[in-house]
Copies of this chain bind each other. A is one copy, B any other.
Amino acid sequence: MKTYDVVGVGNALVDVLSHCEDAFLAETGIEKGIMQLIDAGRAVELYGAMGPAQEISGGSAANTIAGLAMLGARTAYVGKVKDDQLGAIFAHDLRAMGAVYETPLAPKSLAEHETGRCMVLVTPDGERSMSTYLGVSESLGPDDVDPEMCAGAAWLYLEGYRFDGAASVAAFDKAIRATKGAGGRVSITLSDPFCVNRHREAFRKLIADHTDLLFANEHELMALYETDDLEIAMARVSGDVEIAAVTVGARGAHVVTPSGRSHVPTAATKVVDATGAGDLFAAGFLAGLAQGRDLAHCASMGCVAAGEVISHVGARPEADLGTLMKERGLWAR
């Protein structure tokens, strides 16, 4: 048996969550509903303009790993923080969920950057608009990837946002080789349509060459295949990967395989803060795979986990996900 059900690789970030009206987004030049990369200067400027906030550990793949750990999966995470207070918060919150987290810290002496953070502005409709200062998370490179850890993974889980770092492709390659070389499989999430537009060729190559399981929402999948027709995009992806899990917001999720397609609905949930919806869908789905469930069951577990995280502020689960799965008959452990 493998040591880990899932090893995740991503941008290690602390979320700075604040509420605002739509007018504030317009005034500060923030595009609604997406993730924009910002530099340190813009981070200071934007933080100064924002209202009071709360800090909760985030990072897309780290949110997924936290959800998986809560669901009893054996997990590890690879992502870079600094030896500073926000870095200590990030590491604590992940380890406290039961995940293994051993990526070397960027040293205090590295003056130019701090632990990365994502300023999340939540509008009254529950939509989140993210401005990310990557900080030291951007510098994650091959030296941070432990091949032995990846060789112990049943599934590797790669965060698409990580393509924004210069040494990312090399780090991903090393992790993929170690995982596949030991018989593990590779999953990736597209993260964001604009991220897909920035790195479409790299994504396509990674998907065609190495990906067994693709996570995407409808907008990301259409961006990948440069179409505005979801049907066309789903037809295309079925030729590229063994499994594609495609979320369609409140309408649930499609599971697309070369042999066909299934759809699962979501339960009605009030959206308080959409941050982490895709991350927790992936957590529920991968937890299902770790338990040997069929794909539709995995997608239902994903929808339940996503429904929990959008019901409160912050991208980490608060209610016990295992209990929620049991209440919906999705859990037999």
A residues lining the B interface (CB < 8 Å): 19, 47-48, 50-57, 66, 84-86, 89, 92-94, 96-97, 114-115, 314, 316, 318
Contacts and interface: CB of A to CB of B under 8 A. Distances in A.
Given A47-B92, A92-B47, A66 B52 contact: yes
Most B CB atoms within 10 A — which of A19, A86, A114?
A: A86
A94 B66 CA distance: 31
Most B CB atoms within 10 A — which of A53, A115, A316?
A: A53
Contact of A85 (B19, B56, B114, B314): B114
Contact of A57 (B52, B86, B314): B52
Given A52-B94, A53-B92, 6 more contacts: A51-B97, A52-B97, A53-B93, A54-B314, A55-B55, A85-B85
A86 B48 CA distance: 15
A50 B96 contact: yes
A96 B52 contact: yes
A115 B86 CA distance: 13
Contacts of A85: 84-86, 114-115
Nearest to A19: B318
A107 B97 CA distance: 34
B56 A55 contact: yes
A135 to B, nearest CB: 11
29 contacts: A19-B318, A47-B92, A50-B92, A50-B96, A51-B96, A51-B97, A52-B57, A52-B66, A52-B92, A52-B93, A52-B94, A52-B96, A52-B97, A52-B316, A53-B89, A53-B92, A53-B96, A54-B54, A54-B55, A54-B56, A54-B314, A55-B56, A55-B89, A84-B84, A84-B85, A85-B85, A85-B86, A85-B114, A85-B115
Most B CB atoms within 10 A — which of A52, A89, A96?
A: A52
Nearest to A117: B85
A229 B89 CA distance: 44
Contacts of A48: 92
A115 to B, nearest CB: 8
Contacts of A84: 84-85
A220 to B, nearest CB: 28
A318 B19 CA distance: 9
Contacts of A92: 47-48, 50, 52-53
A52 to B, nearest CB: 4
Nearest 9 A-B pairs (CB), nearest first? Answer: A55-B55, A52-B93, A85-B85, A54-B56, A52-B96, A51-B96, A85-B86, A54-B54, A52-B97
A89 B54 CA distance: 9
A49 B9 CA distance: 25
Nearest to A316: B52
A89 B47 CA distance: 10
A327 to B, nearest CB: 18
